[in-house]
Chains A and B, each alone.
Chain A
Amino acid sequence: MNRPKEPAVSRAEVEDLLYHEAELLDGWRLDEWLALLTDDAAYYVPPNDKPDADHRYTLFTIADDIVRLRERVIRLKDPNCHAEYPPSRTRRLISNVRVTGSESDAILITANFIVYRYRRNEPARVFVGHYRHRLRRVGGALKFAERRAILDAEELGELGSVSFIL
């Protein structure tokens, strides 16, 4: 009985989720964005020199469990979050969306991203990379159980801080 399972999700549905997420993040609608995450979600940005590493053994740029991720949103909404006040203007373009597999109840997807970040009196900063996410259905809705944003740059260098949600 090794019949391939019906895909639990269509690419169009994944694209809708990613585009909706991009709109929320670029619009700094962070509470609405949190609602797209499962209650045990995690958010990772691996270090530029070890993009495939495990955050338990390797120093990441960001490795948030849901508790710290909610705190990150509290911080980002606070005018005392100096690195993002006034908030950066960001615009993210997402493409090459693919459903790559499934693992127990999770759907694995990848997508490429470009995030342009603008701040007053600063040069534009362009963050290029790919997402590797795990999605899960919660009450019918597709949600992020794990978000992983992997940067292509060899080092952060002039990109500076990753102080917004990538």
Chain B
Amino acid sequence: MLDPTRHGGFRGLVRDEPTRFQVKREVFVSPEVFEGERRALFDRCWIYVGHASELRNPGDFRTRWVAGRPVIFVRDRQGAMRVLINSCRHRGAVVCREREGNARQFYCMYHGWTYHPDGRLKSVPGEDAYPPGFDKGAMGLVEAPRLEHYRDFYFLNFDRDAVDLKTYLAGATEYIDLVTDQSPSGRMEIISGVQEYDIKANWKLLVENSVDDYHLVATHATWLNYMRNSGVNMAPPKDSGLLLPTKGAGKDLGNGHLTTDNPNYRGRPVARWISVYGEEAKADIDAIRRELVARLGEARAARVADTNRNLVIFPNLVINDGSSVTVRHFYPLGPDHMRVTAWALGPVEETEAQRARRLHAFLTFYGPGGFATPDDVAALECAQQGYAAWRDVEWNDLSRGLTKTDEQTNTDEGHLRVFWRRWRDLMEACA
């Protein structure tokens, strides 16, 4: 519940001035802010559910938590994609307890009500005991009010009046296109094997961290060392003033979405060879490159193959198209606790060798056993520990690059400010 004595609602939490940009640390610890975010963001924004490739056949389903609700992401018997709230209309028990599978029906183990994969109520034991007004047709599993997709990425919205998904995604569609264009048929797939892990930190810290290239040199010193040991040049050009080998950009894509856009230096399965892949992979990656150029033209192929992009779809979806592609979303379990779910994404056409190379590249950097992600987790948890002193040290600083007149680089914080301004606007509108 909101604290009615809270002065000024959710105003004054972001200090956006000409020469400084600060965020109040209270936003990482406050139960009131956390409750406010559930209503202002997660009940109003388009929230990622899953990818079409996860449900190939009629009846296929995945159960997961989305925007704090247990849901069934299902392809019904007619082939339509749906998101059903996983809660029996009778007394609320979840009606599907398996992680994934193919269902002819969902069976509530409490009293035995069953539902069709499209959510319609199928049978009720002892139905004749219900009063005459009992309408089975109106007692199906409740569906998410809105479900739309862009290039196979499915999002739900609990706000019936929300703008359509494509409008919401604004400039982010261009960056999703750059990911899906890696597949000759435009079809990417979620690769089996999910990484689900908790971070004892506020969820917004992972938004920042996913696109913050300023932290790379300090947080990921051992990963940079590994790349150097593997023969990859990680040195910034002499006298460039850069922290990393190439100069990238941080971009505002509208509606709170943002991305980095960096010339690649760390290799890409599609399609830029580095020594880590081994000599034997060179010809194969050249071939992938030739297919890209033939299909997309030289310029577009270079855009797809030679840039890394860490994309945030507001509020809680990250698609990192770097040394591999990762799709990850996260949801707060409390102000200081989030659950992260992460997958690898790849073109459906990949050969066995290409897929193995992609997964190998993924694990070098990403995930709870990678050479980088565990240090991000440590960094976020360290920050959260520091916020215990939020009353004494009130403000986080995000002013890097604030007074620049040209474009924001990836190690500036202009793109992080995009998130915070949107966050502020939605929170203030709700309070």
Contact = CB atoms under 8 A, between A and B. Distances in A.
A58 B197 contact: no
Contacts, number: 126
25 contacts: A47-B195, A50-B193, A53-B193, A56-B355, A57-B352, A59-B191, A59-B363, A60-B193, A62-B369, A63-B363, A71-B371, A74-B229, A78-B222, A78-B225, A80-B222, A80-B225, A81-B222, A82-B219, A82-B382, A154-B99, A157-B198, A158-B198, A160-B199, A161-B373, A163-B374
A62 B370 CA distance: 7
Most B-side CB within 10 Å, residue of A61, A158, A161: A161
Interface string A62-89: 1110001001101100101111100000
Contacts of B199: 160
B119 to A, nearest CB: 25
Interface string B348-377: 000010011001101110011101011101
A155 B65 CA distance: 13
A121 B197 CA distance: 19
Most B-side CB within 10 Å, residue of A46, A55, A57, A59: A59
Interface string B192-203: 111111111000
Interface residues of B, number: 42
A24 interface: no
Given A47-B193, A78-B222, A160-B199, 19 more contacts: A47-B194, A47-B195, A49-B194, A53-B193, A56-B352, A56-B356, A57-B191, A58-B193, A59-B191, A59-B192, A59-B193, A59-B362, A61-B369, A80-B221, A82-B379, A122-B200, A156-B368, A160-B197, A162-B368
B385 interface: yes
Interface string B281-300: 00000000000000000000
Nearest to B358: A59
B99 A49 contact: yes
B366 to A, nearest CB: 9
A121 B382 CA distance: 11
B192 to A, nearest CB: 5
Q: Is the interface of A mostly helix, strand, loop or mixed?
A: loop
Nearest to B326: A59
B343 interface: yes
B371 A60 contact: no
A53 B355 CA distance: 14
B339 interface: yes
Given A75-B371, A162-B368, A156 B192 contact: no
Interface of B: 99, 191-200, 219, 221-223, 225-226, 229-230, 339, 343-344, 352, 355-356, 359-360, 362-364, 367-369, 371, 373-375, 377-379, 382, 385
A102 interface: no
A29 B362 CA distance: 28
Interface in A68-116: 68, 71-72, 74-75, 78, 80-84
A150 interface: no
A59 B195 CA distance: 8
Most A-side CB within 10 Å, residue of B222, B223, B225, B359: B222
Contacts of A14: none
A55 B196 contact: no
Contacts of A74: 222, 225-226, 229
Nearest to A155: B196
Contacts of B339: 157
B378 A83 contact: yes
A161 B222 contact: no
A60 B343 CA distance: 10
Contact of A157 (B197, B355, B364, B369): B197
B196 A156 contact: yes
A161 B377 contact: yes
A51 to B, nearest CB: 10
Most B-side CB within 10 Å, residue of A57, A158, A159, A160: A160
